[in-house]
Amino acid sequence: MLNPFIDAHVHLNTRSEAKMKLAKKYNASFLSINTNIPFFDSLEEQQQVIHDLEEKYPNTSKFITSFDTKFWNTDKWLPHALNQIKTGIANGAVGVKIWKNIGMDPEVKDKNGNFVLLDDARFDPIYQYLVANDILLIGHQGEPKNCWLPLEKMTVDSDRNYFAEHPEYHMFLLPEYPSYEKQMEARDNVLKKFPQLKYVGLHLFSMEWSIDEVAKRLDTYPNTMTDLAERICHVQLQAKENLEKVKEFFIKYQDRIIYGTDVIDDGSMNDEQLTQKFETLWNTHWDFFATDKTLSAPEFKGTFEGLNLPENVLQKIFRDNAIKTYGF
């Protein structure tokens, strides 16, 4: 693994120190992304956990703040959300996250019962505030496109197994929810309307199924970056079909792509399991990007070759782009 490197997409929601000791061993840093997820602790508690870890392990982690939808459909919502953003930034956050609950949460609808998407005008004051104050926005919108497909048409086993076990989240079975295309269109509408907005399209802009579609967004919206979190298997699947095309994508967009794992440290794994997960992902991902080994992935059948990217490209993806974007 590159030394040093940055895992720029994790969720460090416990005060367990094993992961920090592992990071020290690898000379790694973390970007922990606070998110308004129902089974996570409050945004305030997530922020406090990072502060506590940073006190013991200085210069190892930074964090992203967020906002929730408390008081939605009332006059209190916007002042509340802006206050959460301002408080998070004042406490050291290096950006703001907007999450997939905008567009996929049945509690976040307008007064007529319609799902609200990112391009709803009520979010405009937030985008305007971020632009005016040069604050970064990072976004996870929608889900992998597989979520809208029947199980037999999904491209990777990890998605197929997950949605088979959790049909309540399988959008193919929920046609009343906004379509995948509507989710992507709403995100693109925001980037068109606010071209000065600094934005990271997480999870390959949720367009993990096609590096061509990711490339279109990077070309069309020059103030944007993207990250690889939890979508590397989709890139590997495309490399299995056309290695040179995938390699050319990473070389062409070497200044726009950020490495991250999306490991969730929420107490469901013990220290050994958590550190093993980090270490396994870091090393297998490095093999894919940095070597020409013949590899396999648990998410799909068959083998593929590593990309064997040039050293300067690896440095950008695994470290320098996170420094540039998040201020490490």
- Which two three-digit tokens encode residue 295? 């590899």
pTM for this structure?
0.97
> What pLDDT score does 312 carry?
98
Identify the DSSP state of 116.
P
- For the chain, state the CA radius of gyration: 19
Whose tokens are 């989709």? That residue is 234
pLDDT at 18 over 90: yes
pLDDT at 168 over 90: no
Domain harbouring 191, CATH code: 3.20.20.140
Amino acid present at 210: S
Average pLDDT, the chain: 97
Mean pLDDT of 180-205: 98
DSSP 135-186: --EEE--S--GGGGS-GGG-SSHHHHHHHHH-GGG-GGG-TTSPPHHHHHHH
> What pLDDT score does 93 carry?
98
> What pLDDT score does 311 carry?
98
Domains in the chain, number: 1
Q: 111: domain range?
A: 5-326
Confidence grade of residue 38 (pLDDT, cut at 50, 70, 90): confident
Mean pLDDT of 80-101: 97
Whose tokens are 């997950």? That residue is 162
According to DSSP, the residues that pair with 31 across neighbouring strands are 62
pLDDT tens digits, one per residue of 57-83: 999 999 999 999 999 999 999 999 999
Confidence grade of residue 39 (pLDDT, cut at 50, 70, 90): confident
Q: 35: helix, coil or strand?
A: coil
